[in-house]
Amino acid sequence: MLDERRALTTLAQRAGVQLAYVDPFDVRRVASADGLVATLAALGIPIERPDQASDVIAWLDDREGSRLIEPVEAVWNERRRAIPVRTRDASVTLIIENGASAQLPVKPHLRGPGGVVRLPHLLEPGVHELVVEDGARTDRCTLLLAPRRCWAPEDERPWLGVWLPLYAAWDARRPTATFETLAELGEWSHSAGCDVLGALPLLPMFLDEPFDPSPYSPISRLFWSELYVDTGASGETSATPAGPGSVDYRAVWRERWAQLCARAGSVSAAEREQVEACARAEPRLERYARFRGAMRKIGLPWSRWSDAERECPPSDEADRFSFLWAQLEARRQVRSASSFGHGLYLDLPIGVSRDGFDPFEHPDLFAMDATAGAPPDGFFASGQSWGFSPVRPRVSRESGHAWFRDSIRHHMSEAGALRIDHVVGLHRIYWIPPGAEPTEGVYVRQPFDELYAILSIESHRAQCRVIGEDLGLVPGEVRRAMARHGVLGMCVGQFEFGTEAETAIPDPAGAGGADGGASRIACLNTHDMGPFPAYWTDADVEPNVRLGVFDEARAREEAAHRARVREALSAACGLSDDAEWDEALRAVLTALAGRHPALLLVTLEDLLGETGPQNVPGVDPALLDPWRRRARAPVDVIKDDAAIADLIRSLRDALDHAPAGAGGGRVGRAGRLVSGGPA
């Protein structure tokens, strides 16, 4: 019998719970016994006290030791290694994705009691299945046969893209953006020389009750947002007047929903039958529509529904059909918007709302009592709680990672490039156990080989590039895995500008030799940062003091650092000492283009002189009102702006003529971009 602490640590290690981690301050944080027990319980391990660990280990031995084969096997295509089974007497059937099947012999393992199954040499990459039978026992294994690296175009031509949050787009005809707005921007950006058009997540959000407009806390990762469906109604919506300002999501959604209901209610009998046929063919679509309808009818989060309501969500028939129609129309419109160039550059959120459809559909998959987040760091001394429930790795494996696969497939069906939010989450997730503070969390390891295999399989199917959001504290093992599997990293200028002329322009062609980094995309900022005009003019320093992001001392340090950066960038780019933001923007983007990034992503709000961020992590929403700010100029003005079009064309030319592995060097003085400056 193991002693209590040793048994508990053994159990934690078997369940993938890290016993300790090193925080950003180089302090080793060791998980407490109570923290380990709480995390194990949230993972679905039947434990309540540390002294039960030995008995639980025996339970796991019996449960897992009786399996004939692992629930998932990731096999890299070039290796064709053998798959272990735990008996030599099994009958093994390979079921190929297309439905064909074949019997595979089990060969005795030379160094153990079990056997091995060798895969057919001509088996194509994909998601296959092995069915292993021995007497009355049958176990299934999801076989992920994957190319080693995610898809990449055969040529080395760098891509160019522009991005704008879709809710920020507007014009006089359509005061609130729709997927048709996205299509117009896609057509315009492609004609100007772009390969992709970027947007924040385009997934459904709660815009009535509960209310959460964050695109990173969606109702589901498997459907598109009904908010952006263009119904063809005259003027679309008047809930938000045309012009800069903030989106009133509640008012917009009320009016958009009324339009969706009116449009769905007016369909012909033939169209209604087509919608119903799709619902019969896709049971999950039917369940989603009923769930959304029940949310409207009951008016409470599903966690507060009765057992009968959860078993059969009571939905108004008109609401149910309106959601069905809206989803099918959303698919059509997103597909239209993705038809230009290489398509859309989309973002995959790391989680979903705990009140959403995906946790309702898979309650065992999500640890509903725990919360994902981040440990304390230099910006968030108390750590972060992100508010959504993490996925239980063991349960995910038992389903062959079906939810993850479906999430990736949903996005890649319309994306030419997909950014994985918080790519470290493929390796480990910071869990905050029930009742604990963010400072008391522990890391839970993920089956990263299997998740990378899914990314690779699906990216090749869709010919979609994969980007990992690898900002902040990222272990070296993560970037090495990204490089090994062809996942692009991110080079964000405002994080990486140097303070000397020689290092002012960062190098996106690699993440640094120490970590074996891969190629990266290049951009100046992200949605969680101030735009470049604010960075260049320090217009966001004082607002960050008011928001509590900087104290006065930190604000002075930031201003002094930026002054050194401006001096270095000016020297590197041949700018005068008093160059304004628009001149500097053009010069810095041109210099980045000359560094041969895999993709240069340009923020349209930078080009418009915006100084406010879309979001600042960790700030009370009441102080910032995030995810609402509309662009300074309407879409038709952006499309007709000759200076913006000229800049895009010049960046396209700079990218096309930048040799692979090119250094930065100096660039010539840049012309002005757009008139005016930041407010």
Q: What is the DSSP letter of 93?
A: E
Range 95-104, long-range pairs (CB < 8 A, 24+ positions): 95/128, 95/129, 95/130, 95/131, 96/123, 96/124, 96/126, 96/128, 97/126, 97/127, 97/128, 104/130
- Residue 668 burial (CB < 10 Å; 0-12/13-18/19+)? exposed
CA triple 464-470-473, angle to 5 deg: 165
Q: What dihedral angle (degrees, nearest 10) is formed by the CA atoms of 479, 482, 484, 486?
A: -140
Backbone angles phi, psi at 62, to 5 degrees: -70, -40
pLDDT tier at 173, thresholds 50, 70, 90: confident
What distance in Å separates the CA atoms of residue 618 and residue 592, rounded to the nearest whole number? Answer: 30
**Per-residue pLDDT, 65:** 84
First and final CA of the chain: distance in angstroms?
Answer: 70
Domain ranges of the chain: 4-65, 78-146, 488-679
Cis-peptide into 244, omega within 30 deg: no
**Per-residue pLDDT, 237:** 63
User: What would the mean pLDDT of 12-30 be, rounded to a whole number?
Assistant: 91
pLDDT at 512 over 60: no
Say whether 166 sits in a helix, a strand or coil. helix
pLDDT tier at 669, thresholds 50, 70, 90: very low
pLDDT at 592 over 90: yes
Backbone angles phi, psi at 209, to 5 degrees: -135, 130
Query: Secondary structure of 540-602 in the HEC alphabet?
Result: CHHHHHHHCCCCHHHHHHHHHHHHHHHHHHHHHHCCCCCCCHHHHHHHHHHHHHCCCCCEEEE
pLDDT tier at 583, thresholds 50, 70, 90: very high
What distance in Å separates the CA atoms of residue 594 and residue 663, rounded to the nearest whole number? Answer: 7
Beta partners for residue 599, in sequence order = 159
pLDDT in tens, 525-564: 999 999 999 999 999 999 999 988 888 999 999 999 999 9
Q: Which fold has domain 78-146?
A: Immunoglobulin-like (2.60.40)
pLDDT at 43 over 50: yes
**Any residues with CB less than 8 A from the CB of 164 and at least 6 apart, and which?**
185, 198, 199, 603, 604, 605, 631
C-beta of residue 42 within 8 angstroms of C-beta of residue 15: no
**Identity (one letter) of the amino acid at 54?**
S
C-beta of residue 453 within 8 angstroms of C-beta of residue 466: no
pLDDT at 204 over 90: yes
**Per-residue pLDDT, 388:** 94
Q: Which range is least confidently modeled, 210-219, 228-237, 381-390?
A: 228-237
**Identity (one letter) of the amino acid at 295?**
M
Write down the mean pLDDT value for the chain.
Answer: 92
**Per-residue pLDDT, 513:** 37
Edge-to-edge, what's the strand order for the sheet holding 343-348? 465-468, 415-420, 343-348, 196-198, 159-163, 599-603, 520-523, 489-492
pLDDT in tens, 370-422: 999 998 877 677 888 999 999 999 999 999 999 999 999 999 999 999 999 99
pLDDT at 673 over 70: no
**Any residues with CB less than 8 A from the CB of 56 and at least 6 apart, and which?**
11, 40, 45, 46, 47
pLDDT tier at 514, thresholds 50, 70, 90: very low
pLDDT at 476 over 80: yes
| Nearest residue to 223 (alpha-carbon basis) of 308, 275, 292, 154 | 292
pLDDT tier at 647, thresholds 50, 70, 90: very high
Residue that has been written with the tokens 């016994």 in this structure? 33
**Identity (one letter) of the amino acid at 346?**
L
**Per-residue pLDDT, 371:** 96
pLDDT tier at 666, thresholds 50, 70, 90: very low
C-beta of residue 383 within 8 angstroms of C-beta of residue 439: yes
| Nearest residue to 588 (alpha-carbon basis) of 567, 572, 611 | 572
SS3 content of the chain, % helix, strand, coil (to 5): 40, 15, 45
Backbone angles phi, psi at 330, to 5 degrees: -60, -40
- Helical (H) or strand (E) element with 444: strand 442-445
pLDDT in tens, 105-129: 999 877 777 899 999 988 999 999 9
**CA 340 to each of CA 193, 337, 636: distance values in angstroms, whole numbers, following the listed order:** 11, 7, 18
Exposure letters 432-470 (e unless 16+ CB within 10 A, then b): bbeebebebbbbbebbbbbbbbbbbbbbbbbebbbbbbb
CA triple 171-177-178, angle to 5 deg: 130
What distance in Å separates the CA atoms of residue 128 and residue 141, rounded to the nearest whole number? Answer: 9
- Residue 299 burial (CB < 10 Å; 0-12/13-18/19+)? exposed
**Per-residue pLDDT, 664:** 42
Kindly state the percentage of the chain with pLDDT values over 90.
82
Residue 216, by phi and psi: left (phi above 0), alpha (psi -120 to 50) or beta? alpha
pLDDT in tens, 269-302: 999 999 999 999 999 999 999 999 999 999 999 9
pLDDT in tens, 482-494: 999 999 999 999 9
**Per-residue pLDDT, 238:** 67
**Identity (one letter) of the amino acid at 145?**
L
pLDDT tier at 618, thresholds 50, 70, 90: confident
**CA 552 to each of CA 538, 543, 557, 559, 617: distance values in angstroms, whole numbers, following the listed order:** 14, 11, 9, 11, 19
**Per-residue pLDDT, 377:** 79
**CA 358 to each of CA 330, 392, 486: distance values in angstroms, whole numbers, following the listed order:** 19, 13, 29
**Per-residue pLDDT, 111:** 72
pLDDT at 355 over 70: yes
Residue 373: CA count within 13 A, CB half-sphere: 24
pLDDT at 156 over 50: yes
User: What would the mean pLDDT of 230-247 be, rounded to a whole number?
Assistant: 76
pLDDT tier at 678, thresholds 50, 70, 90: very low
